[in-house]
Structure 1
């Protein structure tokens, strides 16, 4: 579904992506791991067209993203942002239905609200939450609302940016389980970026590790612990010593 070939991106003298090759099969959940500043977020932004690569190609469903009509292309995606990114002045249901009331996906207001309430139910929130403001919800509930928004338009591809950041271990487990269930139910293709190894093991079909702007290793989740790569081994076990340089 998603294919990146020899992707490069620099910001001034900072070379972020240095020849990334990555293939994400349709209907699979790919988790991208790696330290801060290794290019994980830039990779996602490149696929979405928010960042223009300096070189290389990005294909979605076999077509170069530059050759696809912009609105129709983005309509295929859902996104769960790291901080939730909810609109604090809008009630919850309008946050969830935001895309459904605009552009090519526009639905009548009553229908959009009905869909929003159904998606809230799917993530474990009752209809009583629909008319509240995000500030009236806990962090875990806000994350569920963000997940409901990400799936509101039944996207083919969903990106999850650090989905458990700021959550306690129990709520992190709830979100991980929801993501796994929903991606499977929808048959969606997913890319998640995370530092949380519990999330990796709960969400991933396949894992790719970015290091110094390249894919250091990529393989099935079942191969992760015994992949034999010293960089991957150090990262997944959180060891301070190893080939990955750390500040001391």
Structure 2
């Protein structure tokens, strides 16, 4: 469904992507792992068309993402942002229904609110939360709201940017389970970027290891521990010694 072919992207002298090749089949959950600054977020933004590659191609169902009609293209995606990225001045239901209140996906206000409350229920939040503001919720609850917003418009593709950042281990486990359940339930294609190995094992069908702007290894999550790739082994076991140099 999503294909990156020899993608390069630099920002001045900073060569971030150096020939990324990656395929994400329809209905599968791909998790991209790698350390900070390895190009994970730039890869995600490139797929969304927010960053234009210097060379190489990125296609969605065979169509070049840089040439797609933007509204129709972006309507196919849902996104859970790393920091939640909720709008402080909007109520919870307005945050969840943000895309349903404007643009090509616009619904009547009452219908949008009803959908938002249903999605809040899906992520384990009670209807009375709907009229509260983000500042009144805990970090874990805010993350659930972000997940509800990501699925509100029934997207075909969902991106998760470090979905468990800032959460305690128990809440991280809850969010991972919710993500897995929802992706399977919706039949969505998912792309997650993370360095949390617990999330990887809970969410992934396939894993791709990104380091120094290239995919070092990709394969089923079941083969990750025995793949023999030195980059993957050092990363998943958190070893200081190996081909990945720690920034000191």
TM-score, normalised via structure 2 length:
0.99
Shift of 1:64: 1.1
Whole-angstrom CA distance in 2 between matches of 1:238 and 1:169: 18
Name the counterpart of 1:11: 11
Q: Distance in 2 between matches of 1:140 and 1:49?
A: 29
Matched, 1:179 2:154: no
Q: Shift of residue 69 of structure 1?
A: 1.0
Task: Give the aligned partner of residue 32 of structure 1.
Answer: 32
Match of 2:226 in 1: 226
Write the distance in 2 (CA, Å) between the matches of 1:145 and 1:90: 12
Residue 109 of structure 1: aligned partner: 109
Separation in 2 of the partners of 1:66 and 1:50?
9
Q: Map 1:187-206 to 2 at 5 A.
A: 187-206=187-206
Deviation at 1:71, TM superposition (A): 0.3
Separation in structure 2 between the aligned mates of residue 75 and residue 247 of structure 1, nearest angstrom: 39
For residue 162 of structure 1, what is the aligned residue in structure 2?
A: 162
Alignment partners' CA distance in 2, 1:194 and 1:84: 15
Structure 2 match to 1:131: 131
- Hey, what's the Cα distance between the residues in 1 that align with 2:20 and 2:60? 15
What is the rounded CA distance, in whole Å, between the counterparts of 1:31 and 1:66 in structure 2? Answer: 23
Equivalent residue for 2:77?
A: 77
Q: Which runs of 5+ in 2 are unaligned?
A: none
How many Å separate the matches in 1 of 2:164 and 2:66?
32
Determine the structure 2 residue equivalent to 1:97.
97
Give the TM-score normalised by the residue count of structure 1. 0.99
- Aligned runs of 1:45-60 on 2, under 5 Å? 45-60=45-60
Runs ≥4 residues deviating over 6 A: none
Please give the per-residue CA displacement for 1:128-170, whole angstroms capped at 9, x wherever unaligned. 0000000000000000000000000000000000000000000
Compute the RMSD of aligned alpha carbons: 0.6
SS at match of 1:52: coil
Structure 2 Cα separation of the partners of residues 32 and 192 of structure 1: 6
Q: Does 1:215 align with 2:215?
A: yes
Count of paired positions: 248
Shift of 1:63: 1.1
Deviation of the 1:66 alpha carbon:
2.5
- 1:18-66: per-residue Cα shift (whole Å, max 9, x none)? 0000000000000000011100000000011111110010100121112
Aligned partner of residue 192 in structure 1, secondary structure: strand
In structure 2, C-alpha distance between the alignment counterparts of 1:86 and 1:97, rounded to whole Å: 11
Taking the aligned partners of 1:169 and 1:236, their CA distance within structure 2 comes to: 17
What corresponds to 2:66 in structure 1?
66
Q: Which 5+ residue runs of structure 1 have no aligned equivalent?
A: none
